[in-house]
Amino acid sequence: MKKIVFWGIFILVFILMGLASYAAMTREPISEGNLSDLKGKWEGWRSVGASHNSRTELEIYNDTLPLKGKFIFHDIKRGDRMSASQTMEFKGGRIENGNFYVKGGQNYWELSLHKGDGKMKLEGDFYIRGAKGTMSLKKK
């Protein structure tokens, strides 16, 4: 019984710490005045469904519109196999409704900027080749 209580409290504290760190970050609408915050390298995860998380990298090369850069998607599934990674370059990144937005063919990414405690995060939705999911990237 003591072990169950201990682990229950441990898990609760862990969850509260995660919520507190997330709550410290606030969404900041992106405009031409803060495009320099986007420039640089980002890394994190993309999720499709409840159980599939894959590492993702983003690099934004410039701080003027249109934004240019690349996404690197790791653990791409092709048929029955997982391939190493795939790079997708973009040249027409824009700001739409205060979010970073990239569209290429049927694919799109819409990410909002979150700031707090000297850290930055881009979070939002994506649609790539029929797969819709969410993405969360932290600035390196």
Q: What is the pTM of this model?
A: 0.79
pLDDT at 9 exceeding the cut of 80: no
State the pLDDT at residue 111: 98
State the pLDDT at residue 75: 82
42-91 pLDDT per residue, tens: 999 999 877 678 999 999 999 999 999 999 999 876 656 667 788 999 99
pLDDT at 140 exceeding the cut of 70: yes
State the pLDDT at residue 40: 98
80-139 pLDDT per residue, tens: 666 778 899 999 999 999 999 999 999 999 999 999 999 999 999 999 888 899 999 999
27-139 belongs to which homologous superfamily?
Quinohemoprotein amine dehydrogenase alpha subunit, domain 2 (2.40.128.120)
pLDDT at 32 exceeding the cut of 70: yes
Closest-CA residue to 71 (of 84, 52, 87): 87
Domain ranges for the chain: 27-139
Closest-CA residue to 97 (of 71, 120, 125): 125
